[in-house]
Structure 1
Amino acid sequence: MIPTSTIEAWLREDLGHHDVTNDVPGETEGRLVATERGVAAGIEAATQVFEYLGVESSTAVGAGDRVDAGDVVFRTEGPARETLRGERVAVNVAAHASGIATRTRTALEAARRVSEDVAVAGTRKTTPGLRGVEKRAVAAGGGDTHRLDCSHMVMIKDNHVAELGIERAVERFRERASFATRIEVEAETEAEALAAAEAGADVVLLDNMMPAETAATVEVLPEGVVTEASGGITIESLPEYAATGVDVVSLGSLTHSADALDLSFRIGE
């Protein structure tokens, strides 16, 4: 569920203080229609916008469902003024989320051509204020959401290593984290990956390695250490990384570079 305060902020940003454009009397019906093929997401957030304004909605597809051009995503019924006031915000949210879900599904299908087991994950490269919508969209596309925020997992990155070193960083954060919190260490070389595993990392992120180097590093890491490949991986290069034996391949582009799915909100017949 999207917090009411978030919906209010979205609408306030779009409508301003003197909205004449949408001052239309009467009742009306509307429908959100896909104008291209993709994967639906952001539906709950979009319908919440209408419902906040007193416009009833009914969904025709669920998050993660395939849609084709011409398919109805959801329908609305209520005051024309409020329907028009909610239209642009609702469409923008659903289009953005559906674009992420569509890109994630494409990435997952590329990975599945070579591996049935590797997880395809997002990252923390999300739009401020929209992380919940975007992470749900990754899940709708079949991807793994990765950590939702900094409290979900300790991620020891290059800047931490520069300040503390791998061993000291793992020791420091292990002392401060809950027993239930995993620790992941970013490694740029095979030597760093081995040092991270020896220091007690639960997950080793192989950062900006080529596929051959990634595969070789996975081979030498101890059993039980989860491996993740990340850094500059595209959907085109994803199958090469999925074939290396890593457990997870993460792509920031799932959220920061997804094209919005083309959706259109139509009133009347």
Structure 2
Amino acid sequence: MLTDSDIERWLREDVGHHDVTNDVPGETTGRLVAKEAGVVAGLDAAAAVFDYLDVAVTERADDGTLIEPGDVVLRVEGPAQAVLRGERVAVNITGHAAGIATKTDAAVAAAREVDEDVRIAATRKTTPGLRGVEKRAVVAAGGDTHRLDLSHMVMVKDNHVAEMGLEGAIEHFRERASFATQLDVEVEESADAPLAAEAGADIVLLDNMTPEETREAVDLVAESDADALTEASGGITVETVPDYAATGVDVLSMGSLTHSAPTLDLSFRTG
């Protein structure tokens, strides 16, 4: 959850100790304008920045809205100095979040052309301090947050398997996790997918497999006696989403949604 201390830290970083640039008298209005098409997100955070500075938000678009160049996504009014102090932080955070939402929207659209049911999910590859903003941007565009932090799900990874073996690792964490906590078990070979499912995995993560290997693993899990979801992850791009969506996998997890999304170009204008 975004807090006042987060906003204060953002503003202090930008304003510094002696802000002459924004020493402007009087009242003014401001508007945040799209310079390119995309999906807007991050406006909750932008509005919170202006609210912290006692600048009134008079109009704002809903996160997840498709926007075109020239569209106004946020309007504010208040003391000119406060408006100008908030504008760069608001533009940066909204542009970053909107870039994530726009990339997520493209991935979701690519998947839906092949399979209406496959989910596009984010990962924990987020910017420290901005996970909430970034995960909400993914959701605004129709994506899934995946786990928000380490407490939301147990992920049994290759290091765990190396230490305890596949079945041993699953048993170890199943004994320690709450009944409400799912186990997502990573496998690197198609043949291991049904073994993980039958050993008690709620989700079998097919790591760094080709679409062909992914399809094979999905089929093997389906043929097993287990009831587990399948998740593909590792180097999946918007361009390769259709290939993976066609495998029958339930979830496509993409770190690039948050760690490699370009910023959407926005501009802040006053007066």
What TM-score comes out, normalization by structure 1 length?
0.98
Given candidates 244, 251, 264, the residue that maps to 1:261 is 264
Give the counterpart letter for 2:177 in structure 1: A
Identify the residue that residue 187 of structure 1 maps to in structure 2.
187
Moved more, 131-140 or 207-216: 207-216
Q: CA deviation at 1:58?
A: 2.7
Q: Deviations over 1:151-208 (max 9, x none)?
A: 0000111122122221111111111111000000010002221221121000000011
| Counterpart check, 1:218 vs 2:198 | no
| Counterpart check, 1:118 vs 2:118 | yes
Identify the residue that residue 87 of structure 2 maps to in structure 1.
87
Identify the residue that residue 128 of structure 2 maps to in structure 1.
128
Task: Give, in whole Å, the separation in 2 of the partners of 1:56 and 1:160.
Answer: 51
| Counterpart check, 1:5 vs 2:5 | yes
Give the counterpart letter for 2:66 in structure 1: R
Superposed CA RMSD = 0.9
What TM-score comes out, normalization by structure 2 length?
0.97
The answer to whether the 8 Å contact 2:191/2:220 transfers is no
Identify the residue that residue 242 of structure 1 maps to in structure 2.
245
| Counterpart check, 1:252 vs 2:270 | no
Aligned residues: 268
Q: Deviations over 1:31-53 (max 9, x none)?
A: 00001100010000001001100
Task: Give, in whole Å, the separation in 2 of the partners of 1:150 and 1:206.
Answer: 19
**Any stretches of 5+ residues in structure 1 without a counterpart?**
none
Partner SS state of residue 172, structure 2: helix
Q: CA deviation at 1:110?
A: 0.5
Task: Give, in whole Å, the separation in 2 of the partners of 1:108 and 1:116.
Answer: 9
Give the counterpart letter for 2:155 in structure 1: M
Identify the residue that residue 157 of structure 2 maps to in structure 1.
157
Identify the residue that residue 147 of structure 1 maps to in structure 2.
147
Runs of 4+ in 1 over 3 A off after TM superposition: none
Partner SS state of residue 62, structure 1: coil
Task: Give, in whole Å, the separation in 2 of the partners of 1:147 and 1:71.
Answer: 33
Q: CA deviation at 1:216?
A: 1.1
| Counterpart check, 1:231 vs 2:234 | yes
Q: CA deviation at 1:95?
A: 0.3
**Any stretches of 5+ residues in structure 2 without a counterpart?**
none
The answer to whether the 8 Å contact 2:193/2:220 transfers is no
Task: Give, in whole Å, the separation in 2 of the partners of 1:29 and 1:107.
Answer: 36
Identity of aligned residues (%): 67
Partner SS state of residue 175, structure 2: helix
Task: Give, in whole Å, the separation in 2 of the partners of 1:264 and 1:256.
Answer: 23
Identify the residue that residue 56 of structure 2 maps to in structure 1.
56
Task: Give, in whole Å, the separation in 1 of the partners of 2:20 and 2:251.
Answer: 50
Identify the residue that residue 178 of structure 2 maps to in structure 1.
178
